[in-house]
């Protein structure tokens, strides 16, 4: 009777493993939204816990069959053979579920990381847009234009590492068919805004550089002119002080 019960327990265990494999490993999952992906991660965590909890039952079965084999070798031998099959299948199921759970957790982590990088770069784009707007309607003063140019250039020196991460993380998920529509839409919007703002910022940078150069040249010309006028004023004052006749002066003084 004990052998019959143990045989029944082995059959039930095998049936449970078959159902678990069908439910957790043979389904075709499509993760088209973050909610679906997150639910799948939680489901696989529960599946892993459920499978690992059966380890106690498996050990009890193994110990009982060993005890029976020691007492009744003829009955225990057949059960031991079936037990080995169940043990192999159980270990395989554990490994596969652990692997799938780990994979889904990695995918979820990849998605969260992508969102974090997008947030960082979006904040940078907002800052860049603000600096570009600050270059409009500047007062016609050298210091104001120079400060605006330096401010814009400091933002443009932003490293490209985050954008590289965004591209690689996004492509990894899209290649796996995971959240591909959502990610493609996010990346398209981000890249379009990045290209537009970058081109606008570089154009403003070039315009400010040219404006600054023109203002410096104008300032230099005014300075030279002021120095020449000051020298001429000094000479004329000297002539007047010395009561020199106008016709005795150089042509430019006349």
What DSSP string runs through 150-214? HHHHHHHT--SHHHHHHHHHHHHHHHTTSSHHHHHHHHHHHHHHHHHHHHHHHHHHHHHHHHHHH
Confidence at 58, pLDDT banded by 50, 70, 90: confident
What is the pTM for the complete model shown? 0.78
Look at residues 161, 181, 159 and name the one whose alpha carbon lies nearest to residue 170. Answer: 181
Cβ–Cβ under 8 Å, residues 93 and 21: yes
- At residue 127, does pLDDT exceed 80? yes
Quick: pLDDT tens for 176-233: 888 989 999 999 999 999 999 999 999 999 999 999 999 999 999 999 999 999 998 8
131 versus 177: the higher-pLDDT residue is: 131
> What pLDDT is stored for residue 238 in this prediction?
82
Q: Domain ranges for the chain, please list them.
A: 1-211
> What pLDDT is stored for residue 250 in this prediction?
61
Distance separating alpha carbons of residues 19 and 226, to the nearest angstrom: 95
- Cβ-count burial of 128 within 10 angstroms (0-12 exposed, 13-18 middle, 19+ buried)? buried
Quick: pLDDT tens for 203-218: 999 999 999 999 999 9
Average pLDDT over residues 98-109: 93
Quick: pLDDT tens for 149-167: 999 999 999 988 999 999 9
The CATH number of the domain covering residues in 1-211: 1.20.58.60
Task: State the residue for tokens 């692997």.
Answer: 99
Return the structure tokens found at 83: 């037990």
> What pLDDT is stored for residue 212 in this prediction?
93
């Amino acid at each position: 009777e004990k052998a019959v019960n143990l045989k029944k327990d082995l059959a039930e265990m095998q049936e449970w493993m078959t159902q678990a494999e069908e439910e957790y490993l043979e389904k075709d999952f499509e993760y088209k939204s973050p909610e679906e992906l997150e639910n799948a991660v939680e489901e696989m965590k529960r599946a892993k816990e459920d499978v690992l909890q059966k380890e106690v039952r498996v050990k009890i079965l193994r110990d009982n069959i060993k005890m029976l084999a020691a007492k009744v070798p003829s009955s225990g031998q057949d059960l031991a053979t079936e037990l080995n099959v169940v043990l192999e299948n159980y270990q395989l199921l554990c490994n596969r579920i652990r692997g799938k759970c780990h994979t889904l957790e990695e995918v979820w982590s990849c998605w969260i990381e992508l969102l974090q990088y997008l947030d960082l770069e979006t904040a940078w784009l907002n800052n860049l847009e603000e600096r570009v707007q600050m270059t409009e309607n500047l007062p016609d003063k050298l210091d104001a234009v120079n400060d605006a140019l330096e401010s814009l250039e400091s933002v443009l020196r932003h490293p490209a590492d985050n954008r590289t991460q965004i591209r690689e993380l996004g492509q990894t998920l899209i290649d796996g068919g995971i959240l591909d529509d959502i990610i493609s839409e996010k990346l398209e919007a981000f890249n379009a805004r990045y290209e537009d703002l970058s081109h606008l910022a570089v154009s403003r940078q070039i315009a400010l550089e040219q404006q600054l150069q023109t203002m410096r040249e104008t300032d230099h010309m005014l300075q030279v002119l002021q120095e020449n006028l000051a020298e001429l004023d000094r000479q004329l004052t000297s002539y007047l002080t010395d009561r020199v006749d106008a016709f005795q002066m150089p042509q430019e003084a006349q």
